[in-house]
Structure 1
Amino acid sequence: MSIRMKLLLSYAAMLVIPLISMILLSLLMVVFFRGDLQNMKGLYETTEQRFDRENTEHIIKEVSRSVKRQPELLLDRSYLEEITAELRDEDAGIAVRIGDAIIYESGSIEKASDLTAALPPYAKKDDYSLYPLMKVDNASYSLVQFDFSYRNNEQGTLFVISKVDPLTFYIRKYLPTLFIALICVLVLTHVLLTAYMSKKIIRPLRSLRDAARQIKEGNLDFQLQIGSKDEIGQLGIAFEEMRSRLQHSLQLQAQYEANRKELIASISHDLRTPLTAIQGYVDGIMDGVADTPEKSRKYMQTIAGKAEEMDHLIQELFLYSKLDLNRQPYHFERVKLLPLLEDWSEELQFELEKRGIAFDSDIRLDTDAVVMLDMDHFKRVLNNIIQNSVRYMDKPVPQIRFLAYSRAGKALLEITDNGIGIDPHALEHIFERFYRADESRNAHTGGSGLGLAIAKQIMEGHGGTIAATSRLTEGTVIKLSLPITIDEGMMDDEEGSAH
C-alpha cells in the first residue's frame, strides 16, 4: 500500500472512528442507565433526571410555599392562570384536584385527556412526590405531586406536569460527559494512528538516515532491513542495492589494487631472473672468465637466449594488457573450420614427433562448418595450450590427443594430454594471469604464467569459452567452444539449385 493511501486512510479514520465511537458510547450509556434501548424514560428515575429546568423548579417551590400558607389560592383562577403563563414557556402546566375532582387544568394538559385520568392518588399531607415519566399518546411527561389539606382536612393535590423530549433531555443532561468522552476518543485515535504512521513511515526513514550516516563514516558492512513495499520500501531497496554495489565496487577496487601489486611483483621477478643471468654472463666476459672463443660463444649464446626470453615475456605481457583493456583489435573473417584444423594438426604432428610426443587427431566437423575467427589470435590459443601440455609432460611415452566435433550450433575442441595433471585446488586458477601451479616459477616448467590467461581473453573476444578438467598424475583436458555460423556460399548454392 502506498504512503498516499495510508495517509488518506489515516485521515479518514480520524473522522470515522470518533464518530462511530461516540455513537457506540451513547448507546452504551443508554444501556448503562436504562438497561435496554426501547424506552428512555428510565433516565429520569431521580429528581435530577426528571427536572433539569431551573425555572420550572423555582416555580414549583414558590407555589408549594404559597399553598402551604394560603390553600385558598388554588381556588383563585387568576392566580392559577398566572402560574400557567409562567410554566407555558417551559412547556409545562398544572392541574388542581380537590378530593376526586379536577377543578383546574392548564390548556396543554386539557389536550391530553388521558393524562389527568392517570394521575396518582392523594398520598399524605404536605407530601412532595416526584414520579418517573408518564407516557400518554406517544408523549412523555414528568410529574410532580404536592398534597395538602383544604377546608376541614379536605384532601387537595397540586400537579405540575412538564412535557419532556427524551432525546433533548438526554443531550442536555449528558452533554458534558459526551464532550469529555469525545475528547478522549479523539486523543486516543490520534495517538494510535500517529504511533502506527510513525512505525510505518518515520521508523524506516530513521533506518535510512542511520544507514546513510554509516556510509558517510565509511562503514558498508551492514544490511538495511525494510519490509514494507510502499514508496519508502522501494527507496530502501534502491538504497540497499546502492550500498551493496558500492561495497562490491570498493572490494573490487581493493582486489584490483592487490592484483596490481601482485602483477608488479610477478613482472619484477620474471624479468629479474633472465636479467640477472645476462648481467652475470656479461660480467664474466668483462672479467675475462670467457678466455677462449668457445666460452665466449657459449656466453653470448646464453645472453641471446635470456634476452629472447625477456622479449617473449614482454610481448606476452603487452598482448595480455591490450586484451584486458579491449585495445587489441580483432580482424575477424569467415573461416571454414575443418580445413583450418586439418592443416594445423598436420603441422603440429610434425613438430611434436620431432620431440618424441605422440599426437592423434580426430576431427568430426562438417565441411560447411564456418566460424568467425581472427586467425592469428586463434592459432595463438591453440599453440599456448599445446605448449602448456608439452611443458608438463612426465610420462615415458608422452601423448597429446586432439578432438573436434559440433553440437548445438557450436564447434567443440578438446586437447587432451597425459601429463602430470593439475591439483583440484589449482585447477580453478589456471586461467588467471601469472598463476603457476609450480610456485618455483622456473621458466622451463612454469612458463610466463600468461599463456592460458591470454587464451581465455582471446576466446571470450571470439564469443567462445575455454575450460579445463584434470586428474592429478593422469593428465589434463582443455575444452574450447566457438559458435558456428552458416556458410553464405552454401546458402547461395542451395538457393540457386532451388531456382
Structure 2
Amino acid sequence: MKMKTRFLVAFLTIIIVPIMLMIVALMGFSNYQLQSLEADYGIEDTTYENLSNSIQALNQVTKDICAELHETAVSKPESFEDETFLNEINRQLFEKSSYLIVRKGDALVYQGKKNDLGSLAKKLPAYGDYNSNLDGGVYIGNDVQALVKQVDFRFQDGSKGSAFIVTSVRDAIPQVKALIIEMFIAIVFILIFTSALLMAWIYKGINTPLSKLKAATQNIKEGNLDFTLEVESGDEVGELCQDFEEMRKRLKESAEAKLQYDKESKELISNISHDLKTPITAIKGYVEGIIDGVADTPEKVDKYIRTIYNKANDMDKLINELTFYTKIDTNRIPYTFNKINVTGYFNDCIEEVGLELVSKNIKLTYFNYVDDDVYVIADAEQMKRVINNIVSNSIKYMNKAKGFISIRVRDVGDFIQVEIEDNGKGIAAKDLPFIFDRFYRTDASRNSAQGGSGIGLSIVRKIVEDHGGKIWATSKESTGTVMNFVLRKYQEVPVNE
C-alpha cells in the first residue's frame, strides 16, 4: 500500500472508527443505565428520553410516593402530623435524591432537609395554586433548581396544609452523571486505542523495511554484499528497498568484476613476466657467448645474432599483445575500415605467413573458393592480427614431426568463411567452449614449453566480433583443430536513377 493511501486510510479510520465505536459505547452504556434506572427508581418502560430529559425522569422517580401522599391526604390526613410517618416518607424520598416538606398555613411544620431552605420556602406555591397530579410538578429555577410536587389537604382542625416532594435538579439522577462520565472515559479510550492502533500500523509499515534497510547499509558498510534485501511492501519505502537491492546487485557485480579484473591483470603480469624471462635469459646467454668469445667464427656470431633477433621479436610480440590488450579493455581499438578485395588480401597474407612456416618446417596449403570480385569492409591490419594469432597458436601447439596448416577461404552466401586447420595436438572437449576467454590456457602449468600470455584468442574474438562476424572452433585431441570465422561480404546498394 502506498504511503499516500496508507495515510488516507489512517485519516478516514481515525474519524469513522471512533464515531462508530462511540455510537456502540453510547448504546451499550445507555441500555445499562436505563436498566439501572428501572432497578434503582422503579421507573417502568424507560427510554433514552428519560436520560436526556432529567425533569421527566425525576417526575417518574417520585411518582409512586406522590400517589401514596395523595391517598393519605384523602383517607388519613392526620398522618401529616405523625412524625414517624413523615420520617418514613422522607427516608424513601431521600433514597431518590428528594425530601419532604409539610406546610400548615404559612408555617413549615416538617422539613426533611434542614440546609438551604430559606430561598425555597419563599418560593413554594400557595395552597391550591398547583393542580396536583401524579406526573407533573413545578420547576423552581434560579438559585434553587428543584422540582416540586404539591399535595394539598386539610388538617383535622380544618387548617390548610400542603405536602411538598422536593427533588434537587442539581443532584439529578446519578445514572445521567454516570453516563456522562462513562462516555467521556469511553471517548478518551477509543481515541487513544484508535490512535495507538493506527500509529502501530503506520510505524510497522515504515519501521520494518527501514530496519531491513539499515541492516543492509550496515552490511555494505562492512563490505558484505552477499545478502538479499527482502522487499515485502509495495509502498514508497518498499520501492526504496527495491532500488537499494538493485544497487546492491550492481555493487556486487562491480566488485566481482573488479576482483576478476585484478585476478586477470595479475595473471597477465605473471604470464608476461614468465614469457619475457625466457627470451631475455636466452638473449643474455647468447650475448655473453659473443662477449666471452664462444662464438669464435663468423658463422657462430651470425647464428647467435639471428637467435638474439628472433628472441627480441618474441619479446616484441608479447609487448604488442599487452599493449593491444589494454586497448581492448578500454574499448579503444583503433580501427580503420576499408573496402578490401578478399582474394588479393588473403594472397598477401598467405605469402607472409608462408615465410614463417617454412622456417618452422610446417607445410602450408591455401585454397581460395571466392570469386575475384568479392569484397569485405574490414581493417586490414587488425584482420592480419587475427590470422597471425591463429597461425601462431597452431605453431605453438604443433606436436607432429611433419606439421601442416591449411587455410581455406569459402563463399557462404552473404558471408565469406575462413578456415584455418592444423594437425597439432588438438583441444580437449572440456576446454573447447573456453578457449576464447581471457587468460584461459589448456595447459595448467606455467612451466609448459608453449608459454604465451593467454589473451591471443580473446583478442581474435574481439576483433572478429567488432567486424560484425563470428568465430568458433572444432577440434579433436591428437588430430588437430579447425578455427572458423565469418565476415559479411560488401554489397553495392543499387541507386535508382
TM-score, reference length from structure 1: 0.68
The answer on 1:462 being equivalent to 2:467 is: yes
> Which piece of structure 1 moves more, 247-256 or 3-12?
247-256
Amino acid at match of 1:185: I
Tell me, yes or no, if structure 1 residue 264 matches structure 2 residue 252: no
Deviation (angstroms), 1:14: 1.1
- Note closer, same or farther for the CA distance 1:329–1:56 as it changes in structure 2 (3 Å cut): closer
CA shift for structure 1 position 379: 2.7
Structure-2 residue corresponding to 1:6: 6
TM, length-normalised to structure 2 = 0.68
Q: Counterparts of 2:325 and 2:473 in 1: how far apart (Å)?
A: 20
Deviations 1:146-178 (A, max 9, x none): xxxx99xxxxxx999x9xxxxx99876623223
| Residue pairs, 1:227-376, within 5 angstroms | 227-335=232-340, 337=342, 339=343, 343=347, 357=363, 359=365, 361=367, 363=369, 371-376=376-381
Sort the Cα spacing of 1:441 and 1:293 in 2 relative to 1 into closer, same or farther, 3 A. Answer: farther
Q: Structure 1: how far apart are the matches of 2:451 and 2:243?
A: 47
Change (3 A) 1:306 1:387: closer
One-letter amino acid matched to 1:46: A
Q: Residues 426 and 479 of structure 2 are in contact (CA less than 8 Å); yes or no, is this contact kept in structure 1?
A: yes
Q: Which moved more, 1:199-208 or 1:327-336?
A: 327-336
| 1:175–1:336 distance in 2 versus 1, CA, 3 Å | farther
Over the residues paired in the alignment, what is the CA RMSD in angstroms?
A: 4.6
Superposed, which structure 2 residues align to 1:435-474 within 5 Å?
Answer: 435-439=440-444, 445-447=450-452, 449-474=454-479
C-alpha separation between the residues in 1 aligned to 2:179 and 2:281? 108
Q: Distance in 1 between matches of 2:356 and 2:291?
A: 40
Classify the secondary structure of the residue corresponding to 1:81.
coil
C-alpha distance in 2, partners of 1:238/1:482?
Answer: 42
Aligned residue identity for 2:197 = L
Q: Quote the Cα distance in structure 2 between the aligned partners of 1:159 and 1:321.
A: 116
Q: Which moved more, 1:192-201 or 1:353-362?
A: 353-362
1:239 is matched by which residue type in structure 2? F
Residue range with higher mean Cα deviation, 199-208 or 446-455: 446-455
Q: How does 1:57-456 map to 2 (within 5 A)?
A: 68-70=79-81, 78-79=126-127, 81=129, 86-87=138-139, 174-335=179-340, 337=342, 339=343, 343=347, 357=363, 359=365, 361=367, 363=369, 371-394=376-399, 398=404, 400=406, 402=408, 404-406=410-412, 412-439=417-444, 445-447=450-452, 449-456=454-461
Contact kept in structure 2, 1:421 and 1:475, CA below 8 Å: yes
Q: Distance in 2 between matches of 1:418 and 1:359?
A: 12
Would the aligned equivalents of 2:425 and 2:480 in 1 still touch at CA under 8 Å?
yes
How many equivalent residue pairs?
422
Is the 8 Å Cα contact of residues 365 and 406 (structure 1) preserved in structure 2? no
- In structure 2, the CA distance between the partners of 1:440 and 1:87, relative to structure 1 (3 Å rule), is closer
- In structure 1, how many angstroms separate the alpha carbons of the residues matched to 2:35 and 2:318? 110
Q: Give the distance between the partners of 2:350 and 2:230, measured in 1 at CA.
A: 63
Contact 1:352–1:358 (CA under 8 A) maintained in structure 2 = no
The 1:228–1:402 alpha-carbon spacing in structure 2 relative to 1, beyond 3 Å, is farther
Post-superposition offset of 1:283: 1.6
Match of 1:25 in 2: 25
Shift of residue 344 of structure 1?
A: 6.4
| SS of structure 1 residue aligned to 2:277 | helix
CA contact (8 A) 2:366 2:407 kept: yes
- Given that 2:403 and 2:422 are in contact with CA atoms closer than 8 Å, whether structure 1 keeps it comes out as no
- Report if aligned partners of 2:137, 2:149 keep a CA contact under 8 Å in 1: no
Deviations 1:372-407 (A, max 9, x none): 211221132133223323443446675646364546
CA contact (8 A) 1:353 1:359 kept: no
Q: 1:177-204: CA deviations, max 9, x gaps?
A: 2332232222222222222112211221
Shift of 1:329: 1.6
SS class of match (1:191): helix
Aligned partners of 1:358, 1:173: CA distance in 2, in Å? Answer: 114
Once the two structures are superposed, residues 24-78 of structure 1 have per-residue CA deviations (whole angstroms, 9 ceiling, x without a partner) of 3344556x659xxxxxx8674223473875994898879959974259x899994
**Separation in structure 1 between the aligned mates of residue 28 and residue 341 of structure 2, nearest angstrom:** 94
Give 1:9 shift: 0.9
Return the alpha-carbon distance in structure 1 between the equivalents of residues 411 and 148 of structure 2: 119
Q: Structure 1: which amino acid aligns with 2:129?
A: E
Give, in whole Å, the separation in 2 of the partners of 1:272 and 1:259: 19
User: 1:16: Cα distance to partner?
Assistant: 0.7
Structure 2 CA distance for partners of 1:6 and 1:173, relative to 1, 3 Å: same
The one-letter code matched in structure 1 to 2:250 is R
Q: What CA distance in whole angstroms lies between the structure 1 residues aligned with 2:28 and 2:475?
A: 85
Q: Counterpart of 1:330 in 2: which secondary structure? A: coil
Q: Tell me by how many angstroms 1:277 deviates.
A: 0.8
1:49 and 1:485 mapped to 2: Cα distance? 113
Deviation at 1:332, TM superposition (A): 0.7
Q: Deviations over 1:283-340 (max 9, x none)?
A: 2222232333443333233222222222232233333333433333211123465x45
Contact 1:349-1:359 at 8 Å conserved across structures: no
Q: Using the aligned pairs only, state the percent identity.
A: 35
CA separation of 1:323/1:406 partners in 2, compared to 1, >3 Å: closer, same or farther?
A: same
Structure 2, unpaired ranges of 5+:
44-49, 83-101, 106-124, 157-162, 168-172
Higher RCO by CA contacts (8 Å cutoff, separation 6 or greater): 2
- Partner Cα separation in structure 1 for residue 210 and residue 149 of structure 2: 72
Structure 2 Cα separation of the partners of residues 347 and 279 of structure 1: 33
1:229–1:363 Cα change, 3 Å: farther
Moved more, 435-444 or 262-271: 435-444
**Counterpart-to-counterpart distance in 1, 2:407 and 2:305:** 38
Report the CA distance between 1:485 and its aligned residue. 5.4
8 Å contact from structure 1 (residues 364, 406) kept in 2: no
CA contact (8 A) 2:437 2:457 kept: yes
